């Protein structure tokens, strides 16, 4: 079984020492750095803006996997691209014309992702799969860390994997929400190749990060 890429969500990091935390997960084996951006409007929480992303950019060379849970989303694309995002993922519900949003992300020279909430069907990708670089399946409702995995999303992961395989393009399939050493295996078996993990990565403090990431990869 191929080990997935691990993209720790810094939403679960110690915000008082965020630069140190990013360096620590980089050294511990993180493949990407997942940045959850919430606006208190599209989702019921408020997190970080492009200024923080820009400040963190100097702390790692790993790709910044930026998930925008904001609405309207288009006005923020340039700011996060300039701050150092490598992948910018948006929700179809966060703007009036999601195809145009994808085009705008690509025009900024960034990889474009589409995020599907638990009630958003895989069919939403029908006319986007040929344009995007990543699909993010939310296995919790977005807005908070530490939620329990919604098992019904495994069927959606399987459906999206079939769509990606039919498209014949190198599209990553990422899962976010309630991912731990057990659900990680279920997600990979269903077709995921990137896992976002907040609590499961950061639990136990920096001395545990490498072991936590290894467990998520199925190596621990």
Nearest one of 42, 37, 125 to 85, comparing CA atoms: 37
Residue 100 Cα distances to 130, 172, 176, 184, angstroms: 14, 20, 24, 33
62 lies in which domain range? 5-217
Indicate the average pLDDT of the chain.
96
- The CATH number that applies at residue 211 is 3.20.20.70
The three-point CA angle 60-64-70 to 5° equals: 140
Binding-site residue numbers for a divalent metal cation are: 34, 36, 67, 176
* Residue 170: predicted pLDDT: 96
Q: What is d(CA 185, CA 169) in angstroms, rounded to the nearest whole number?
A: 24
The catalytic position among 39, 74, 176, 180 is: 176
For the chain, how many structural domains are there in total? 1
* Residue 100: predicted pLDDT: 98
Mean pLDDT of the region 213-219: 93
* Residue 220: predicted pLDDT: 60
Binding-site residue numbers for substrate are: 9, 67, 143-146, 176-178, 198-199
Binding-site residue numbers are: 9, 34, 36, 67, 143-146, 176-178, 198-199
Residue 176 known to be catalytic: yes
Percent of the chain predicted with pLDDT > 70: 99
Q: What is d(CA 194, CA 132) in angstroms, rounded to the nearest whole number?
A: 15
Tokens 């029908």 belong to residue: 126
pLDDT tier for residue 144 given thresholds of 50, 70 and 90: confident
Mean pLDDT of the region 28-45: 96
Residue 126 known to be catalytic: no
Q: Are 153 and 170 in contact (CB under 8 A)?
A: no
Tens of pLDDT, residues 162-176: 999 999 999 999 999
């Amino acid at each position: 079984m191929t080990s997935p890429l691990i993209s720790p969500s810094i939403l679960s990091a110690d915000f008082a020492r965020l630069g140190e935390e990013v360096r620590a997960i980089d050294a511990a084996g993180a493949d990407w750095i997942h940045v959850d951006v919430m606006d208190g409007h599209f989702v019921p929480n408020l997190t970080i803006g492009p200024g923080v992303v820009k400040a963190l950019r100097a702390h790692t060379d790993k790709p910044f996997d930026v998930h925008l849970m904001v609405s309207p989303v288009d006005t923020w694309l340039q700011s996060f691209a300039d701050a150092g995002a490598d992948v910018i993922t948006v929700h179809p519900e966060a703007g009036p014309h999601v195809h145009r949003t994808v085009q705008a992300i690509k025009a900024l020279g960034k990889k474009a992702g589409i995020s599907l909430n638990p009630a958003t069907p895989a069919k939403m990708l029908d006319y986007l799969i040929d344009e995007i670089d990543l699909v993010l399946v939310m296995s919790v409702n977005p807005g908070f860390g530490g939620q329990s995995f919604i098992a019904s999303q495994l069927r959606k992961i399987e459906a999206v994997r079939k769509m990606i395989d039919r498209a014949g393009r190198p599209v990553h399939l990422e899962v976010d929400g309630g991912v731990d050493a057990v659900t990680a295996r279920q997600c990979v078996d269903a077709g995921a190749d990137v896992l976002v993990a907040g609590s499961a990565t950061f639990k136990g403090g920096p001395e545990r990060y490498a072991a936590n990431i290894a467990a998520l990869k199925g190596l621990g």
